[in-house]
Amino acid sequence: MKLPKVPLERYFPEYSGGADINKAAKYILWRFMQTNRARLSVYPHLTQATDTTNICLVFATVKETILQNALKDSGIL
C-alpha cells in the first residue's frame, strides 16, 4: 500500500507526519527501535524494493555484517 492512499494514522493513530514519506520512514524506524529491548545491533536501510542496485548493496552489507559477527563470535577476530 502506498502512503498517500492508506494513511499511516490508520494503523498508528499517534503518528502525525501526514503523507510525508521521510517522516513516515523515521516514525516506523523509531517504533521498530523501541521494540529492541535486548539492545541488539540494528542497521536500518531505507530503500525501494524496485531499486535493484540499492537492494544489492543492502544484501552485501547484511552478508558482511553476518560474516563479521560470526568471526567475532568464533574468536577469530
Please give the annotated binding residues, written as ranges. Answer: 49
3-state secondary structure the chain: CCCCCCCHHHCCCCCCCCCCHHHHHHHHHHHHHHCCCCCCCCCCCCCCCCCHHHHHHHHHHHHHHHHHHHHHHHCCC
Give binding residues for GTP as ranges. Answer: 49
